[in-house]
Amino acid sequence: MAGASLPETGPEPRRSGPPPALQGTCISSNYSSSERELINRVFRLFETVTCLRLVPRTSEKDYVRITPTGRCSGEVGRRGGRQKISLPHWCLSFGHAAHELMHTAGFWHEHQRPDRDQFVRVLWDNIKPRHRRTDYGRRVWEELGEGSWLGPYDYRSILHYSGRGSAVDSTKPTMVARQGGVKLGGNGNLTDIDIWKINTQYHCWQRRVANSLYEFGDNQLGGRQGRRFGRTCGEGGKHEK
């Protein structure tokens, strides 16, 4: 977060009341109990440090399924109907789950912001072709929606790739900061700016910034216990498509 600080104010709210993005959630029964607990720890973090509420799905037609099928991915914002967050077993970690959940809350990759070229330089020749547009293409303002607001650039955001992501040659960088001595991504947890952006976007600035992220942030499958947020989606088969 070098050079970045938390402003005291933010944009006018775009919505009021509990945000709809994460209402109606379920976790695939194809995860082990320890894997489901890891996902629940991520849910507890979001509910502790932001105003987002993750309501277990009952019979909602609009809902979010977290499943081990597909590649590590999630859509940005709520799209309506059945929406999937894909967290295969090989990529399931606290950081990956928090990353995809923040996408579902409506946030794009930090390094794809319209103004990103002021902060980082993308080395296109070393990025695998299939990742160039989807993971590194610079977004335009029109894609972000009316009233969108970016806030301070956060090099260490949970939504910022490292400097060697999707590399053709992993010994060389794919992206470098224009500011010297800055490490890109690799944080594995929500930063203070991530939390501040969520709370500002949803107009709940009074929520505190976390001062105990260490309670939630390691990538081990055990850890802090608490209520379960995500109802299981079903026993495989048609439920897991």
Active site residues per annotation = 100
Q: Is 152 helix (H, G, I), strand (E, B) or coil?
A: coil
Give Cα separations from 231 to 53, 59, 207, 234 (angstroms): 14, 11, 26, 9
Tokens read off for 45: 């973090």
Q: How far apart are CA 136 and CA 123, in angstroms?
A: 10
Tokens 């050079």 locate to 3
Tokens read off for 168: 């053709």
Q: Are the C-beta atoms of residues 154 and 4 closer than 8 Å to each other?
A: yes
Largest CA distance in the chain: 51
Q: CB within 8 A of 194, min separation 6: which ones?
A: 102, 154, 157, 158, 159
Q: Is 215 helix (H, G, I), strand (E, B) or coil?
A: helix
Phi first, then psi: give them for residue 230, nearest 5 degrees. Answer: -95, 115
- Asked if residue 109 belongs to a known ligand binding site, the reply is yes
Task: For helices 94-104 and 33-49, give the axis angle rounded to 10 degrees.
Answer: 50
- Asked if residue 111 belongs to a known ligand binding site, the reply is no
Tokens read off for 234: 């079903």
Nearest-5° Cα angle at 52, 30 to 158: 70
- Asked if residue 99 belongs to a known ligand binding site, the reply is yes
Annotated binding site for Zn(2+): 99, 103, 109
